[in-house]
Structure 1
Amino acid sequence: MAILMLFIALGLLGVGIPVAFVFGGAALVAALLSPDVGLEVFNVLPFRIYGIMSNSTLMAVPLFILMGLLLERSGTAEKLLIAMTSMFGSLKGGLAISVVLVGAVLAATMGIVSASVVMMSLIALPLMVRAGYSKELSSGTIAASGTLGQIIPPSVILIILGDVMNISVGELFVGAVLPGLLLVTLYIVYIIVISHLKPHIAPPLSDEDRHGSFASLVWAITPMLALMIVVLGSIFTGIASPSESAAFGVIGAAVLAMLNKTFNPTMLYQSIRETLKLSGMIFMILIGATAFSLVFNELGGTDQVIEFFGNHVDSVWIFIFIAMMVVFILGFFIDFIEISFIIVPILIPVMHAYGIDPLWFAILLAMNLQTSFLTPPFGLSLFFVKGAVGDLVTSGQIYKGIIPFVLLQILALGLVMLFPNLVFAFV
């Protein structure tokens, strides 16, 4: 019944039923059909929900979302992208490199994939196409760079995994720094290599499209770096918790919007409203997932998973490979939030049974979950690019363009698996 319950939930997700209702409904049906469980199992659910709502770690989620939305609407990120493309546009592949660098900076300040991808699609993609860039390379670079916010802190994925796996979010943020920089480096190296092997797909930008200067770049990047240092620096040094740092980040983003003269009641209202929508979605999924996990464990599902790996898998590496493959394949069809709340809790007891370091395993999961934004048919970044630019690129060109970046993400995941010190270097 426990395994059937899991497959029923995944099947309902595939036909488009809202996630929170899928997991909550599957839990309710399974409890009714199982005479040994019954509806009495839900007696403890209100206490679980109260624990979720009073969790100070999860408080950082809506705060970081609000910080990112304020930054997006402040115009600061847009100025940075324009200045960066002007500075690096004279190089082969320079526009694509600029997009990656801006994506990394936005990841360390905004951390919202939708905002990053849409903004870069609207500003950079028309410029890249006009400059003669391959539409595949252009759209693939933008879609992949926008997902860097899922591994480079402050990341919503890392906050959720920290709560689900009972790991310090501050340690997760520190452990994700080098893997995130590794991914940025791999993107840039690939762009440099491909632009020299095939110069026609990434030519230099013409002089008429270059308007910026080094001073404009410094002026654009300094506020973003200052905010990044305040938010991440306070976490890394232990001065503040992630929630407290996120609150500072919201204030900092509001100040930047005031300096850019874009802060007004309408902008603030829209940012808060969108934050409430996104946060409400995440917490409703979490409540549904809590009900699902409650019934799944009561049915003995976790014990069955541990028994399976104990009887059939005698190597820790085989378990890690199976776990990563399952998460990667599920990422084609369901969102990282559902995977984090449903699949990861099933893997945690097995992880402990094999003696795997939770921090390292969490970073591996975060890097794997990042690919779910790029893998068709339901990769969100692909829809964000297409929705932002319309007929400028086709869906086929976007799908073709993200293939090298998905392979680079898998390569980065493999390197972190082989060299765990990439996670523990600064922890």
Structure 2
Amino acid sequence: MFDLSALGVEYGTLAMFVMLLALLITGMPLAFVTLLVALVFTLGWFGPMAVPLVTSRIFSFVSSFVFVSVPMFVLMAAILDRSGIARDLFDAMKLVGGRIRGGVAVQTIFVAVILAAMSGIIGGEIVLLGLLALPQMLRLGYDRSLAIGVVCAGGSLGTMVPPSIVLIIYGLTANVSVGDLFTAAVIPGLMLASFYVIYVLIRAYTGNVAPPVEPDDTPLGEKLAKLKGLILPIIVVICVLGSIYGGIASVTEASAVGAFGVMLSTIVRGEFSWGMMRGAAMQTLRTTGMIVWIGIGASALVGVFNLMGGIAFVSGLITGISDTPLVVILFMMLILFVLGMFLDWVGIALLTMPIFVPIVVELGYSPVWFGVVFAMNMQVSFLSPPFGPAAFYLKSVAPPDITLGDIFRSMAPFIALQVLAVGLLIAFPGLTGH
């Protein structure tokens, strides 16, 4: 085989990047692309004897105890998808939203925050809100762009609001306490949600984008009956997050408590069936399998790149951009933003964090703070064209007359709010408590 080490680390890095790009353009899944490139460079740079060194990195990633929490939170989301918990939660929140102009859009954001605090992933949440909230807003006469943007942006809050799987994967990659990340992300996550609410209210009261408030003549008994829809979700959220913040359980143990709590909720509601559990288990297997395979490929690639001296080389390039730490951080944000337009967040975290986190620490910043900034940056990637997953999730359940172009255009104001939130987190690191 051709001796790739003759290229040197500079041209080796370039060759690796070009090979990655070329294979991704063919449509090959990211997990297989990274594995193939890792194998080619391991054999071509070091020879067959180096393969065990690379596989040891893979083992350390997949054997992490915290990683067990990922399928648990995915299972929670999958059961939520198949139960009526989200529908009853949405109905209960009408008691809050019915009193203000733009109320349905505001209650959609509130429901999104509670669902995010229950599951930590975005796909199912956007689909649920697309089925529950979007038709109702369109029927009531809401501006279509506002309705679409609220569903996509609100549904993506799962990446910021604990127990976020983005933060779990970051914690694994950066070797940072996931519990600390969850604590640090609470205020920024609620801040972003409040930006959405303020934007909706401003648009509702200054423009003709929301219907006027109708008098609420719902009997008190019916209102109290609707409030019951809040009880089970709030109990699950308290059990999951309360056990983590209270120091009672680790993130992994809390995820199991949450999965059991959601399953118990479906039993109490009379919705439990083995067919539902089988469907939820299969969905969990598919989602977790994708994350694991991307993790395996990215871990192998980063492992061989590190052995080549590539991480030290790229770190030197990034830190050499400026003597001002803030400029270096902003450059990293730009890299993440561009990568987010084309790659899955799991791949971005696993490929870039081994390079970025040591630089962040060297610059004197907290890796916990950077994890929250990274999660906020990934918010942008979920909405931004050409491959923003939020748009495709919503398109799968939206009315046929709503095109992908309509969805991406509708998300522009919310992307601006996300960029504003990233800027505030960088300007005021104290928002994370770090």
Could you tell me the TM-score, scaled by structure 2's length? Answer: 0.93
Are the counterparts in 1 of residues 43 and 51 from structure 2 also a CA contact under 8 Å? no
Are the counterparts in 2 of residues 57 and 163 from structure 1 also a CA contact under 8 Å? yes
Are the counterparts in 2 of residues 94 and 204 from structure 1 also a CA contact under 8 Å? no
Q: Which region of structure 1 is more displaced relative to structure 2, 217-226 or 362-371?
A: 217-226
What residue in structure 1 maps to residue 150 of structure 2?
A: 141
Are the counterparts in 2 of residues 309 and 319 from structure 1 also a CA contact under 8 Å? yes
2:323 paired residue among 314, 323, 332: 314
Deviation of 1:209 after TM superposition, in Å, equals: 12
Give the distance between the partners of 2:219 and 2:143, measured in 1 at CA: 22
Could you tell me the TM-score, scaled by structure 1's length? Answer: 0.94
Structure 2 gap segments, 5+ residues each:
1-11
Are the counterparts in 2 of residues 3 and 301 from structure 1 also a CA contact under 8 Å? no
What residue in structure 2 maps to residue 91 of structure 1?
A: 100
Are the counterparts in 2 of residues 111 and 150 from structure 1 also a CA contact under 8 Å? yes
Please state if 1:72 is matched with 2:72. Answer: no
Deviation of 1:215 after TM superposition, in Å, equals: 1.6
* Letter paired with 2:296: I
Structure 1 gap segments, 5+ residues each:
none
Q: Deviations over 1:22-80 (max 9, x none)?
A: 0011112223443xx22322122343333233210111100111112112222111111
Could you list the structure 1 runs, at least 4 aligned residues long, displaced by more than 4 angstroms after superposition.
205-213
Change (3 A) 1:258 1:219: same
Q: Which region of structure 1 is more displaced relative to structure 2, 69-78 or 285-294?
A: 69-78
Give the distance between the partners of 1:411 and 1:274, measured in 2 at CA: 34
What residue in structure 2 maps to residue 357 of structure 1?
A: 366
Are the counterparts in 1 of residues 61 and 172 from structure 2 also a CA contact under 8 Å? no
Q: Please list, as runs of the form range in 1=range in 2, the aligned pairs for 1:145-294 lying within 5 A after superposition.
A: 145-198=154-207, 200-204=208-212, 213-294=222-303
What residue in structure 2 maps to residue 27 of structure 1?
A: 38
Deviation of 1:392 after TM superposition, in Å, equals: 4.2
What residue in structure 2 maps to residue 324 of structure 1?
A: 333
Aligned length: 422
What residue in structure 2 maps to residue 382 of structure 1?
A: 391
Give the distance between the partners of 2:242 and 2:132, measured in 1 at CA: 30
Deviation of 1:206 after TM superposition, in Å, equals: 5.3
Q: Which region of structure 1 is more displaced relative to structure 2, 155-164 or 45-54?
A: 45-54
Q: Deviations over 1:64-111 (max 9, x none)?
A: 111121122221111111332465235211111011000001000022
Change (3 A) 1:424 1:87: closer
Give the distance between the partners of 2:40 and 2:266, measured in 1 at CA: 49
Q: Which region of structure 1 is more displaced relative to structure 2, 3-12 or 321-330?
A: 3-12
Deviation of 1:372 after TM superposition, in Å, equals: 1.1
Give the distance between the partners of 2:386 and 2:319, measured in 1 at CA: 34
Task: Describe the SS at the equivalent of 1:312.
Answer: coil
Give the distance between the partners of 1:115 and 1:247, measured in 2 at CA: 19
Are the counterparts in 1 of residues 43 and 50 from structure 2 also a CA contact under 8 Å? no
Q: Deviations over 1:165-197 (max 9, x none)?
A: 011000000000000010011000000111111
Are the counterparts in 1 of residues 321 and 328 from structure 2 also a CA contact under 8 Å? no
Are the counterparts in 2 of residues 140 and 401 from structure 1 also a CA contact under 8 Å? yes
Please state if 1:345 is matched with 2:354. Answer: yes
Q: Deviations over 1:237-265 (max 9, x none)?
A: 11100000011111100110011111110
Are the counterparts in 2 of residues 99 and 141 from structure 1 also a CA contact under 8 Å? yes
Cα RMSD (Å) of the superposition?
1.9
Give the distance between the partners of 2:348 and 2:137, measured in 1 at CA: 35
Deviation of 1:12 after TM superposition, in Å, equals: 2.5
What residue in structure 2 maps to residue 13 of structure 1?
A: 24
Q: Which region of structure 1 is more displaced relative to structure 2, 176-185 or 50-59?
A: 50-59
Are the counterparts in 2 of residues 368 and 413 from structure 1 also a CA contact under 8 Å? yes
Deviation of 1:324 after TM superposition, in Å, equals: 0.5
Deviation of 1:15 after TM superposition, in Å, equals: 3.7
